[in-house]
Structure 1
Amino acid sequence: MTTTAPTGTAEAALARWGFSEWIAQTRRTGEFIDTPELDGVNDAVISVDGRPVVNFSGIGILGWQHDPDVRRVFAAAAAEYGLVVGGSRLVQGLSRPHLELEKLVAEITGQEKALTFATGLLANLGFVHAMKARFSFADEPGVNNSDMVLVLDWDSHWSMWKAADGFKYGRNLFAFEHNDVAALRTLLAELGDRRVVVGFETVYSSDGSMAPVGEILDACEEFGAVSFVDDANGFMAYGNGGHRFAAEYEALRRATFRMVSFGKAVGLSGGAVVGPADAIDAFRFLSGTSIFTTNIQPPTAQAITHVLERMRRDPSVMERYLDRIDRLRERLIAVGCAINSTPTFVTSIAVGSNETAVRVRRDFLERGYLVPMFVYPAVRRNEAVIRLLVNNRLSDEQLDGFVDTLAELRTIHGF
């Protein structure tokens, strides 16, 4: 029996939006995923309702957030600088840890300057907002880039598409098929001398594919377009002396702008945009997400710097991790899984329909594994995948157990 809220109440006003009906429907189908309530620390093995569960859903792939030295650095910085960020950087300034982190990120990426944000998503939103800004102080000469055109790879992250909410597709927003450089070149030729920003990722979140970085930047340079590379997934996983995708990451230094995230290889939080110094200084005012929100906590910034310095000194830490992922991919192929063809550390296992994905995720959890299932809108409809970012703190035995369980569930559900 459906009850109707009395007219004139807040419930009656909100009922027109349909949230309750939608939630009820998606709970019935199993598509609405309740957030697991963890009893303790979020780690390679977590506790859900008092039961140990092997966790394949975390994003801090190397486990730096549990390293004793990293925690000591965080604690020491917390004691010195406190936990409160205090407001916008323009209002109350930056702490020493932020300045040190921005200088180091600029050095690592080979860019002139870096600007940190509380998250990578805020960095992406802020970048697009700054590039399209129309603003001046009083009667002083300002900027007016409101006619800019944004061109995205179709598979670009949700945050990039969200940043383009105020754009109109076909007028100042365009897209090219995933990693299709020929299509990009045709589009850039059609756009002529308009002010164009081309946005793409290095390692794509859903399918683990790697962009043809050099070829895309060649096209941008030929047609006079500004390039913006979302390197949230690949930062410090590739480059830094590693042999995998070395050509792509050498070419990446030619990008006009680059966004990096501290959530994956670094395992902490926050992001940054790097690029030419004058533009980065302008972004402090024009991004919106820099001036109207807070930054990373000072101890987190100090801990990120500590991790980055250690990774620069010893690239073998990441290389050994990537060797483990190569072995896991071999095992997945051996049991008949359809996985992404590009051997990045992002491993996507094809599942198929949303209905199958719901059942597979449920059965994994019953067997003691929390797996990340990507369904629409993270991927195309009925092209659901298990998207793995393997925590390096998982043992070989736990990885073997996962593969054995996966093989069992493939037989049961036919994916």
Structure 2
Amino acid sequence: MTLSSTGSALDRWGFAEWVAASKRSNELYDPPVLNGLNDAIVDIDGRKLVNFAGIGFLGWQHEPDVLTSFTAAAADFGLVTGGSRMTAGISQPHRDVESLLCEITGRERALTFASGLLANVGFVNAMSARFSFAGGLGVDNTDMVFVLDRDSHWSMWKAAEKFGIGRNLLTFRHNDTAHLRKVLEKVRGRRVVVGFETVYSADGTIAPIGEILDLCEEFGAVSYADDANGFMVYGNGQRRFAREYEDLRRATFLMMSFSKSVGLEGGAIVGPADAMQAFEMLSGTSMFTAAIQPPTASAIAYVLRRMLHDPAVVDNYLDRVDRLRSELTKTGCTINPTPTYITSIAIGSDEIAAQLRLDFAECGYLVPIFRYPAVKKNNAVIRLLLNARLSQDQLDGFIDTLAALKKKYDF
């Protein structure tokens, strides 16, 4: 097949026209290329920008001891796993992380994945699998039902899209336990999994964890809590949202991401031992993909131990977030009412949101703008993650810039 005929066939998909139109409206753009570290200050095309977009907000990657842990493990275990855990095995750093997760969460067994997204996809695959070895005793859970909060992460929706909406896939209104009760009454007696996030990334809300788990226990449903955003930020002795995170210990399964508070790559699920061992085979994302790089796993274990022994690191960070939220309120911004570390500022118009991203960059700030499809159309928000390494002067400069742009665009 010639290049020209390939291009002609691909034209039917409409990519070129869509890309051109979306670039003209600033809706689609090339991602920025960083010259150096993704840090509190980033270098893009030779310009220094204050960074509110990086999700590794505690800056562990700069700690000398974390880097030492990484490099020592690279020397001992190499940079690759050599294949999936079921074929090539795992390294000792992976086992260290999984043991620590059981210690932290009180669960029986943990399973690590190369990302939190792969953990979510793997969970859905495993819980709905039909499989047996050579015709022997197996599992067949293809008739199970997923009940998801409507604001659940894209990865959960992507994993569950094979199910029939209204039959094997049901939803409940965001954080609405009265609606969840009605949904569960419709599927009483069936094998049901209720999936929800603890801290939602777009609006910063926290789930009514205890109420959801009460309903799961009442209706005999399995619970799956996606704690990608809250892991090691809340719980671990933190006074903020202590009740919710104490309730979380009742969840059947718990997923966590290492890209937020830990600031590294990877994810994991913890839960009952037999189910977690089954997941190693049934998830697919353990069987057919490689694991976290061994030196990264070693660094994750090191950071987790540091965080366990010194919760003041997170406590001090959350104090700074509280002060930032107070300053944002003084400017007249409408921010998310739940005082989590994820701070969303309402914009509304997708068109204004697209322009704001450019204006912030022109003023020296890399600011994440959440618009459709991350949120509903014309419900755009500025989604801030405060980097712990930013100075107060840098925050003050951002507040002044935000106030000026707010006045200009009236959001």
> Could you state the TM-score of these two structures normalised by the residue count of structure 2?
0.99
Paired positions, count: 410
Equivalent position to 2:172, from 172, 176, 184: 176
Structure 1 partner of 2:323: 327
Structure 1 SS opposite 2:23: helix
Instruction: State the distance in 2 between where 1:98 and 1:251 align.
Output: 28
Structure 1 partner of 2:400: 404
Instruction: State the distance in 1 between where 2:229 and 2:255 align.
Output: 10
Structure 2 partner of 1:262: 258
Structure 1 partner of 2:130: 134
Deviations along 1:170-214, one digit per CA (max 9) or x if unpaired, are 010010000000110111011110100000000001000000100
Structure 1 SS opposite 2:13: coil
2:228 equivalent to 1:221: no
Instruction: State the distance in 2 between where 1:341 and 1:34 align.
Output: 33
Equivalent position to 2:191, from 176, 191, 195: 195
Equivalent runs, 1:15-164 vs 2, <5 Å: 15-164=11-160
1:65 deviation in Å?
A: 1.2
Structure 2 SS opposite 1:84: coil
Higher mean C-alpha deviation, range 33-42 or range 137-146: 33-42
Equivalent position to 1:250, from 246, 253, 263: 246
Deviations along 1:230-252, one digit per CA (max 9) or x if unpaired, are 00000000000010000000010
Instruction: State the distance in 1 between where 2:331 and 2:135 align.
Output: 68
Instruction: State the distance in 2 between where 1:276 and 1:95 align.
Output: 22
Higher mean C-alpha deviation, range 7-16 or range 374-383: 7-16
Instruction: State the distance in 1 between where 2:338 and 2:61 align.
Output: 28
1:107 deviation in Å?
A: 1.1
1:37 deviation in Å?
A: 1.2
Structure 2 SS opposite 1:9: helix
2:233 equivalent to 1:233: no
Instruction: State the distance in 1 between where 2:384 and 2:390 align.
Output: 13
Structure 1 SS opposite 2:135: coil
Structure 1 SS opposite 2:235: coil
Amino acid at match of 1:184: L
1:289 deviation in Å?
A: 0.4
Structure 1 partner of 2:10: 14
Structure 2 unaligned runs (5+)?
Answer: none
Equivalent runs, 1:330-341 vs 2, <5 Å: 330-341=326-337
Instruction: State the distance in 2 between where 1:202 and 1:214 align.
Output: 11
Deviations along 1:341-388, one digit per CA (max 9) or x if unpaired, are 000000000011110001111110000000000011110100000111
Structure 2 partner of 1:376: 372
2:396 equivalent to 1:386: no
1:140 deviation in Å?
A: 1.0
CA contact (8 A) 2:81 2:89 kept: no
Instruction: State the distance in 1 between where 2:390 and 2:402 align.
Output: 16
Equivalent position to 1:211, from 194, 207, 214: 207
Instruction: State the distance in 2 between where 1:8 and 1:378 align.
Output: 35
1:55 deviation in Å?
A: 0.8
Instruction: State the distance in 2 between where 1:247 and 1:150 align.
Output: 26
> Could you state the TM-score of these two structures normalised by the residue count of structure 1?
0.98
Instruction: State the distance in 2 between where 1:81 and 1:38 align.
Output: 29
Structure 1 partner of 2:298: 302
Instruction: State the distance in 1 between where 2:133 and 2:4 align.
Output: 45
Instruction: State the distance in 2 between where 1:8 and 1:233 align.
Output: 46
Amino acid at match of 2:303: V
Deviations along 1:43-75, one digit per CA (max 9) or x if unpaired, are 110111101111111000100011111001100
Structure 2 partner of 1:360: 356
Deviations along 1:12-48, one digit per CA (max 9) or x if unpaired, are 1100011000000000101002200111111110111
Q: Root-mean-square deviation (CA), in Å?
A: 0.9
Instruction: State the distance in 1 between where 2:293 and 2:10 align.
Output: 36
Structure 2 SS opposite 1:107: helix
Structure 2 partner of 1:274: 270
Amino acid at match of 1:97: P
Amino acid at match of 2:226: D
Structure 2 SS opposite 1:126: helix
Instruction: State the distance in 2 between where 1:256 and 1:408 align.
Output: 47
Residue identity (%): 64
Higher mean C-alpha deviation, range 202-211 or range 393-402: 393-402
Structure 1 SS opposite 2:142: coil
Structure 1 unaligned runs (5+)?
Answer: 1-5
Structure 2 SS opposite 1:16: helix
Deviations along 1:79-138, one digit per CA (max 9) or x if unpaired, are 111101100101111110001110101110111010000000000000000000000000
CA contact (8 A) 2:56 2:262 kept: yes
CA contact (8 A) 2:79 2:295 kept: yes
Amino acid at match of 2:193: V
Question: Could you list the runs of 4 or more consecutive aligned residues of structure 1 that deviate by over 6 angstroms after TM superposition?
Answer: none
